[in-house]
Structure 1
């Protein structure tokens, strides 16, 4: 999972995860800091955390205010962001749906919510269903949530597995989660989108340690909200300036050019001059400290920016500058944990989001991948039944003693993998234009991409593939044998529409 995040196949859903207690703690620590504007959030959070009234109505207001101010207000995913509210029961979902709808109207908001649950239920003396509350059939929910004015999906045990919507950015959790269920639920947010740089989770029901433990089998991480002191950003900023790699003039000029739409050839001279200073004036320890500090500032600022409204554009400008500078800094010898994996920023979509953020901070100041998709026209594969049966039999013979949670589902998924891998365009090209050895290399990469695509909904299969060399070797050999065909035809699993 860590590699998938680094290569931007998926979004890191824990980078901006916070419990409501940590959310409140962060706001309390910066209430007197002029860099932040916490007035809108503080009162409702204080009522929730310090009082005994944990009513749905208060939580609904916290959710709506955050989504409006910090997600829609900063034009996340190019202004298309959606949110999911995860509840522990149908009764809770109905209460949230009505509370959120009521507060949206109170705010004069133009957005609306949708509720998702199974069956018919009594609520406020009436029998209600998804269709009666939403005003459209249940099977239209997935289509409607990506259409305006619908932005918030309130769920009770629906859409928490198998739902892959890239526009889903924020999740508000009021349900106890643990183990695989926690990973699968939060991973609804991880689908990549060209304009999607982050995701956000506000958790009312779980503690950070439990969520961290649930994800620990898949990748090691530290939930930032548990260790972030917003005031340390001042120290990081001061240390970065003290290094002498850049100054205020470079930041202002670069950000001005960037927001005005300047091409890379106008931005690079400013950044290259900073890189030259970094190389010439800093020794190895200094480079390690500077690059580590720059990354820490960007990460902490990004996390805090997902929670707290900023009242001053200076930090936003520094974050933009560092995001453009860091990928150009040579990695010191000690700084090899990421192995140099620093993705270049998608300039245009990043530029659009930051224009909006800068505009908001200035206004406040003045006023108060999954797997590579198949080629066009290729439909869902339909493997031959006898081939499926043989693969499932072999799988059961070799790995049937593994304590799978759903062995039949895992076996079926394994059996369908060769056809899925055969859709990969790079692998197909290698079968057509290269030899068997090179085709095997492309196949194994395609298989890795296919497994990453399964990781949200079949985490135990992904974990076995990642942790068990024997299983990984068998799966790769089986998939290649079943899918490889020189010239790209012949024995390749049949693809509907091809």
Structure 2
């Protein structure tokens, strides 16, 4: 397989990234297991809480004996921030994705941590054990919009609400990264940027309702446009006004972009998933490569 040739297909590029992410410790998820209304991969969030904070969870179950799982997920979504500014509880204090990951969720005296960042040393076995329980998951072809319903399709005959994002990365069920991938030719990254600007709207253009996954601060923290040659990124989607910054390593001669690797089975941009998004690097505060995620 030659990743630099014209015969390279986007699906091959995508599968290579997924395979390497899995080799690095990521788990593979399915779009159908994603809660589009809450923008959470619910199973992972609940599993992390139950496995790392059982005593608190048992107390929580006594406070909310009827479906405590549903109650916690709704609480987390509320603390992330209502995507809809007109919602009845929109004045509730919220913390956004970064705040929820870095700080505890509190509800009626119960506290839950939703992420254990990498400890600076291994002197505390309990902290290390919690760190090892983190669930980092990649979901390919994620249908993300809560407005992508069968009812809408029946009424309009349109599949526009079933837009998919090539790869979405979650930490304990909370989305942190989206990636649109383009292959085929050297300028392909521009097409990925165009896709974000023209079809990945933080507010649905028809319903005028927010897309939770794509809402600034409340949804994914960073969005990458990726080809086998270059990477660009943004932290805020604003349609045509979205501003992307290069996220490249530069070339050996001091130029922009990335050097093409001598190994034809490698990609010039694989530092993104093999270094930057390596679990131990992603879960380290601060990280030198992604200061915008963990400031």
Answer with 1 or 2: which has the greater Rg. Answer: 1
The normalised TM-score by structure 1 is 0.19
Q: Could you say which structure has the higher strand fraction?
A: 2
The normalised TM-score by structure 2 is 0.27
